[in-house]
Amino acid sequence: MRAGDGWLVRVKPPEQRVAAPIARRLAGMATLWGNGAIEITTRASLQLRGIAETALSDLAAGIRDAGLATNDPALEQRRNILVSPLAGDDPSIVGDPLALARGLATLLADPAFAGLSQKFSAIVDGGGVLPLAGVRADIRIALAAEGITITALDGTALASDAADAARAALALALRITLENRPPAPPPPPPSAGFLPYPGHRRGAFAVLPPFGAMLPAMLTTLADLSERLGDGWLRLAPGRVALIGGVDEASADALAAAAKTAGFIVDREDPSLGLIACIGAPECVGGDSPSRADAMALAPLLADDVPRPIHVSGCAKGCAHVGPAPVTLTGVGRAKDGGGLYDLAFAGSTERVGLQADYRLLSIAEAAVLLNRRPLESAALRTPAAPARPVP
Ligand code: SF4
């Protein structure tokens, strides 16, 4: 899709995992054909930004050649399958979510399911140390000791067995109407740091690039670390998380230190984890405010009891998060000092700007003072929209 900093190309690695050599190739593609910015999305895809129009076909060929996409554009649209990110490594995961996810991906190409929505999405969740509860999809396939349950977004549920679950899930998705999806809930809080597998001296290590954005050198470092201290794979999880599996408990500190030096967040208490921000101005020419820089400045100013996540958007388009959040700051212009001016909505989305906003034209410092002063009010004002009030 076209974005304010050039073409944005989304890559959906099958089963959300990329082998270290492929991750290095992706980093090279971002450098060669884009502006170097690589993002992990809230739904565990990758995005390369600032791609020149003349480079699009070369990049697409490179991505297909790396095994990260098929040749079928219609299938690629619908191939939105999230699987337990640590499947195959976390022994506490139930059943074989990877086999089920592969079965789903294969069946999506079957003409019998060509009528599925272009926005079709599915989750295959085997639990474990990083379950996918709280992440929304049209169809959720939950693997538990008692059996497999398939649940559609409209609440329809049915039991299945592993051999039939993929076909039954797609048949259910065909039967129900999902075009009017309600806005997605804010993502659950992401994990960071070492995640030990129960009863084992090994686990996975979760890192986050600040606001999901990294440079090619960061991705290359992560690939190197996965080979040196893990099993050689990078796994992606909802909430903009990258995971290295197969990490020995004794290596966790070394991995944390190296990832932190490379610029990753490795601490689940990091203040920026409760904030969502798009790239914003000036990188995005459509942006009214420098949302990412402002979110970075806002994070350490906030008290612990301010409700999160807080969505800081560079303009009303709301690319980083569609739908409501406990607090939404929507960029509407620039202050004299170069920082942004924001309209604030409690329990709203970027659509609540102007007279619909709860507070108008706040600098980031003013927003921090207001949120710290009124955490209880922020939590209580979930619905409906409060009348607009002047700048405090
Ligand atoms: S929401 Fe952010 S990324 Fe999207 S157009 Fe506005 S400034 Fe650009």
C-beta separation of 345 from 318 below 8 A: no
Q: State the distance from the centre of ligand 1 to the C-alpha of 11, rounded, in angstroms.
A: 19
Q: DSSP character for 54?
A: G
Residue 121 has pLDDT above 60, yes or no: yes
Measure 318 CA to ligand 1 centroid, in angstroms: 6
* pLDDT value, residue 323: 86
The CA 132 to ligand 1 mean position distance, Å, reads 27
CB distance 78 to 120 below 8 Å: yes
Asked if the model's pLDDT at residue 63 lies above 80, the reply is yes
CA distance 74 to 92: 35
Strand 38-40 versus strand 213-214 pairing type = antiparallel
DSSP state of 15: G
226 is written with which tokens?
């996965």
pLDDT recorded at residue 111: 92
What is the rounded distance in angstroms from the CA atom of residue 103 to the CA atom of residue 263?
A: 37
Q: What is the pLDDT of residue 391?
A: 41
SS3 call for 335: coil
pTM of the entire predicted model: 0.89
Stretch 316-326: mean pLDDT: 90
Q: Which atom of ligand 1 is nearest to the CA of 278?
A: 2
Burial of 81 (0-12, 13-18, 19+ CB in 10 A): buried
* Residue owning the nearest CA to atom 6 of ligand 1: 315
- The answer to whether the beta carbons of residues 319 and 312 sit under 8 Å apart is no
| Backbone torsions φ then ψ of 262, nearest 5 degrees | -75, -10
Question: Is the confidence at residue 93, as pLDDT, over 90?
Answer: yes
Given a cut of 60, is residue 379 above it in pLDDT? no
Residue 378 pLDDT > 80: no
Q: What is the arithmetic mean of pLDDT over 207-216?
A: 96
Q: What are the residues facing 17 on neighbouring strands? A: 235
pLDDT at 113 over 80: yes
Give the type of residue at 125. Answer: D
Residue 392 has pLDDT above 80, yes or no: no
- Per-residue pLDDT of 230-267, as tens digits, reads 999 999 999 999 999 999 999 999 999 999 999 999 99
Q: Percent of the chain, pLDDT > 90?
A: 80
Instruction: Determine the Cα–Cα distance for residues 271 and 60; give it in Å rounded to an integer.
Output: 36
Element (H, E) at 56: helix 56-65
**Binding pocket residue ranges, ligand 1, CB within 6 Å:** 4, 278-280, 284, 286-287, 291, 313-315, 317-319
The closest of 106, 149, 145, 107 to 124, measured between CA atoms, is 149
Q: Which residue has the tokens 């290095």?
A: 24
CA 363 from chain centre, in angstroms, equals 27
DSSP structural state of residue 129 = T
**Ordered structural domains, the chain, with CATH:** 2-74+188-269 (3.90.480.10), 94-127+137-175 (no CATH), 273-380 (3.30.413.10)
> What is the pLDDT averaged over residues 315-330?
92
pLDDT digits (tens, 9 = 90+) for 172-193: 999 886 666 777 776 677 889 9
Residue 386 has pLDDT above 60, yes or no: no
Report CA(333)–ligand 1 centroid distance (Å): 13
Nearest Cα to 48, choosing from 76, 4, 8? Answer: 8
Confidence class of residue 164 from pLDDT cuts 50, 70 and 90? very high
How many helices (H) and strands (E) are present in the chain, helices listed first? 10, 20
pLDDT of 209 > 70? The answer is: yes
CA separation, residue 128 to residues 106, 196, 357, 372 (Å): 25, 11, 41, 36
Dist CA 297 CA 33 (whole Å): 31
CA 152/CA 170 separation, integer angstroms: 10
| Percent of the chain with pLDDT strictly greater than 70 | 93
Residue whose CB lies within 8 A of the most ligand 1 atoms, among 291, 341, 350, for a mutation test: 291
User: Residue 384: helix, strand or coil by DSSP?
Assistant: coil
* The pLDDT of residue 119: 87
